[in-house]
Amino acid sequence: MKSDNNSSSSLNIAGKIKDYLKLIKLSLSIMVVFSSVLAYLLVPGIEEKYENPLRMTILLAIGGLLVTGSANAINQAVEKDTDALMKRTSSRPVAAGRMSVTEAWVFAIAAGAVGIFILGYYFNWTAAALAALSLFLYAFVYTPLKKVNAIAVLVGAFPGALPCLIGWAAGDETLGIGGWVLFGIQFLWQFPHFWAICWIAYKDYSIAGFKLLPSEKGPTKFTALQTVIYSMLLLPIGVVPYLIGMSGLVSLFIVAAANLFMVWQCVRLYREMEVKAARRVMFSSYIYLPVILFALLGDKL
């Protein structure tokens, strides 16, 4: 009997951990933290700024993960009824009823406060303030705006790009031009990335009442054209790191190739107008950011 109780307790603990990982959207949070950490490592002279660079990098990752997890938890607490309507989100812990809204809020407040404190205490309060701003914009502006107007995507692009600026600020609180360039790249990248996701999940989003595509008629030529335009805007900003001495010729060519590849995938979406083409844009965008950031970091190393 005792063995059965222990087994049941272990299953409950494992289930609770799994629910919390879903609550913070672990894969998305890791992606956000990844861009923040690489932006931090790209700050000139960061290797000499702290006695233990690895410890500081880990602290930045933990702080960023807590703040991002907080924003995602608030998102799920606010959208529990909406999440329950959609196949891709109905299994989330709050939507499925495995976790109460109160529990999600308590976790979100605690995680957000601790994450912001870590960034402020161990790095600087500029990074902490940017993290707080990102959390506020995502949870309290972008999230409710999704049901109102497609401008939500524009609004959401700001907290979506702030991780790069937060990471840069952690190493350089004066917010040098390099941080703003990385912010600009990630800001523009989000439009083809997010619209591709919305294209694929259009039926689900429509059921939930989300208005996220640039055309009210859904996946249209106009929507596809917007992805092409924003991907093309990545071309000139991709040259800026080289022009300001942030990178060399090798990374310039890698960044240019990655940008052209994104443009090509968006053009294919415009020509084909199919879900599989949108899926290619989505997966290409997932690859794009790591390639860009590692290319810039590689030149620094």
Of the pLDDT bands very low, low, confident and very high (cuts 50, 70, 90), residue 88 is confident
What span, in angstroms and rounded, lies between the C-alpha atoms of 249 and 136? 38
Q: Is the pLDDT of residue 6 over 80?
A: no
pLDDT at 222: 94
Q: Is the pLDDT of residue 290 over 70?
A: yes
Exposed, middle or buried, 229 (CB in 10 Å: 0-12/13-18/19+)?
middle
115-156 residue pLDDT tens: 999 999 999 999 999 999 999 999 999 999 998 888 999 999
What span, in angstroms and rounded, lies between the C-alpha atoms of 28 and 12? 25
* Domain extent listing, the chain: 1-151, 176-301
Of the pLDDT bands very low, low, confident and very high (cuts 50, 70, 90), residue 204 is confident
What span, in angstroms and rounded, lies between the C-alpha atoms of 176 and 297? 17
What span, in angstroms and rounded, lies between the C-alpha atoms of 100 and 285? 34
What span, in angstroms and rounded, lies between the C-alpha atoms of 200 and 259? 22
What's domain 1-151's superfamily in CATH? UbiA prenyltransferase (1.10.357.140)
Q: What would the mean pLDDT of 23-28 be, rounded to a whole number?
A: 92
Domain 176-301 adopts which CATH fold? Four Helix Bundle (Hemerythrin (Met), subunit A) (1.20.120)
What span, in angstroms and rounded, lies between the C-alpha atoms of 248 and 245? 7
Of the pLDDT bands very low, low, confident and very high (cuts 50, 70, 90), residue 195 is very high
Higher per-residue confidence, 236 vs 298: 236
197 touches 282 (CB < 8 A): yes
Closest CA to 66 of 122, 126, 110, 27: 110
243-253 residue pLDDT tens: 998 888 999 99
What span, in angstroms and rounded, lies between the C-alpha atoms of 60 and 116? 10
pTM of the model: 0.91
